[in-house]
Structure 1
Amino acid sequence: MDLFESTRKGEKDKRYQPLADRVRPKTLDEFIGQEHILGPGKILQEAILSDQLMSMIFWGPPGTGKTTLAYIIAAETNSDFFALSAVTSGVSEVRKILERARLNLRLNKRTILFIDEIHRFNKAQQDALLHEVEDGTILLIGATTENPSFEVISPLLSRCRVFKLNPLSETELKQIIERALQQDVELRRLAVQLDEDACVLIVHLANSDARVALNALEMAVKLAQRKRDDGVHVTRADVEQAFQQRALFYDKKGDYHYDTISAFIKSIRGSDPDAAVYWMARMIEAGEDPKFIARRMIILASEDIGNADPLALVIATAGFTAVDYIGMPEGRIVLSQVATYLASAPKSNAAFLAIEKALQEVKSTELESVPLHLRNAPTPLMEQLGYGKDYKYAHSYEDHFVEQNYLPEKLKDKIFYHPTDIGSEKMIKERLEKLWPKRKNSAKKEKTE
């Protein structure tokens, strides 16, 4: 079987398919949810029905119908359809499909390329799509759980329409479960009965994810089937056990996801490189997006290290770029280098506290005008009004510094940034206290208060 036979839509032996695949909607009429784009007269519904499609990106939480919509579009428009996962595919697979798409174009047949988790493609992989998307050789449909503004390169994003898919409501999830019970051949053969409180629990624990709901239902049915000989009666206890046996200890939208990234960040902040790489390994092994980890380290480099080691931000940013370019699994080495450097670096949150204090000042006090001597004076009239008058140009003075007021009059003695005595920030503190003696006095005052 070649690449195209394995990636095109095709019939599989349904005995081996999970319930979520067996009951996947085939038409727009069967699709549940996303009324804001698929309801009567809405933009995507009209585009599909009129066959006036553009390349697009579906952005939304897991289990909201991104993949299903791509398959429906392919079926409704009678296009040659290829599906790739960005996790397991690379540029070579993309190029083979693009070659087939060029042939289809000569035969007046449209080619749809669906890329699941497109945010996992690095810049080079996304670049490979640009020309064919622009000239219409392929109609690209990307699916992502991450904000495409951050994860998809600008040239590709500008050539696609982004559709935001919303989390499914409890009513919609219940409809999906009921539809599965009514239409799935296997569940009908077993004459499955689902208690109302069991259905409510599935809806609640699935947390808007249709795939999770259907997988839990399927497992609960198997548990109920093993326990009883007189039909399959699924109870709340079966559902509780089904969710426990799923053992999804790392769900990207669940508490454990946030607990793990929290442990990772706190380990770096606490200067423990061993704990940092351990928690990072847990995330990598669970399939966490490496760029999510890299972004969090960029934030930490400024918030928790700051000017105590200015290189921390440079290294964290370079790490993100490197991971974006090379992808996984090699990206794990870059992430480890950055994490261990940040964990071992001196720490300071002075920059973070400075902006927080300044923002609080702006929000809580009346805003004063910019002092005249700091204003720009591009015209003679502005000069006559005193704009820029008495401004002292720092480079005209010894050591390129001259003391003058840069804040509004009522705030002229206000200090927002208090550098620490840690790392490089100690030199910054000493320099600022030499230039601005009031800073030294302010520091002494704070210690006595």
Structure 2
Amino acid sequence: MLNPVRLIAAKRDGEALSADDVTALVEAYTDGTVPDYQMSAFLMAAYLNGLTDGEAAALTEAMLQSGSHIDLSGVPGTKVGKHSTGGVGDKVSLILVPLVASCGVPVAKLSGRGLGHTGGTLDKLEAIPGFRTALSIKEYRRQVVDLGGVIAGQTGDVAPADRKLYALRDVTATVDSVPLIAASIMSKKLAEGNDALVLDVKCGRGAFMKTEAEARRLAETMVAIGAEHGVSATAVMTTMDVPLGRAVGNWPEVAEAVACLRGEHGDTSLMTIVRALAGEMVVLGGRADTVEEGVETAQKRIDSGAALDRFRQLVAAQGGDPQVIDDPSGRPDSAPVTTIRASEETSGIVVDLDALVLGHAAVDLGAGRRTKEDDVDPVAGFSALKTVGDPVEPGAPLARVHTSDPSTIEGVRAAVREAYTVAEEVPDRFPPVRARYTVDGWTDAGTGQD
């Protein structure tokens, strides 16, 4: 008989658990035999002492086998999935899925909700009035056939163990653990029915992986898990020190994603990352021979309007109101309620914007959760953010604030100001895209050089 106290104590003391023990614990938590408080203790022990490769593999497999797998073998073409390890202002999936689908590569994506200081793709999409993320497997499969792209939440049948653990990690300070992240991601990715996978592994202050060493370990772990299950995976390491783009939150990020699909913000770090990931996905999907060719193909779809049109179709297919895609300013209750300004003593150039601080401020506005039962405010967040390289004059606007609860504003005003560093000269920074990893090893992004 399972004794969860014994397993918690063993992990607390740094011992390695057998695959059978890990499987039994996950199964018992999924069916409710093991309560939240005991699984929370196990997660903290795993967070503090780590998991062996064998434990991480067993955890992935247990979560994968806790539910059904989506079969997309009847869908023509090579299906390519995408996952980001999470960051602040990360609206990449909102742009990338319709963009790649418009290139003729089917993309099926199961997404998550906000985790810690990072926003969730599902929360952002549900800020579109009427948008449904709870699709049946039949609806999910049909949309891949009809539109070549879908973004949905996990159904009750897909990796239910991960869904429960994901919510618990968010409220027990056990999010940023390499083996827990790798197991969670890959249990979902292997269940969603794709033939290949591109992983956006974020690295920096606003990411769960703060250092390149951590990001490399996570990339290597996930690519190896994919290979073991016959899924070709490419990991791209991207920088997450400052928020991606000029919007953070739910509806503000949707509005910015629409602008990007219209061809705006083309020279930003956000779109540099989007193009790099799109190039990889188009190659894996067999629509280009090189990443450079894949990038060119994707850019043509943006320029022609095909990518934006595909997003509009995706929104309509999932019950959303396509009119707010045509005119994002027309979304009810989405107008900014106030503006946060620089002090009268501030003057110079933005040299830094702390993504972690801004992410927590967005949560305080209502864009994220403090407990797993919390609802999120669909309009909450920041827009028109000053970012690195922008000049700032005394009293200049730093951010527009969106929220349904004006009582939250004063609590974030000081935090937003403190997130900014203003000086006379911008120091050297990491490039948006740092490197890429496959089973053949690490190469410089876009160069193919070791």
Shorter-chain TM band: under 0.3
What TM-score comes out, normalization by structure 2 length?
0.27
Greater C-alpha radius of gyration: 1
Q: Which has the higher contact order (CA 8 A, sep 6+)?
A: 2
Whose helix proportion is higher, 1 or 2?
Answer: 1
Where is the strand percentage greater, Structure 1 or Structure 2? Answer: 2
Which TM-score applies when normalising by structure 1?
0.27
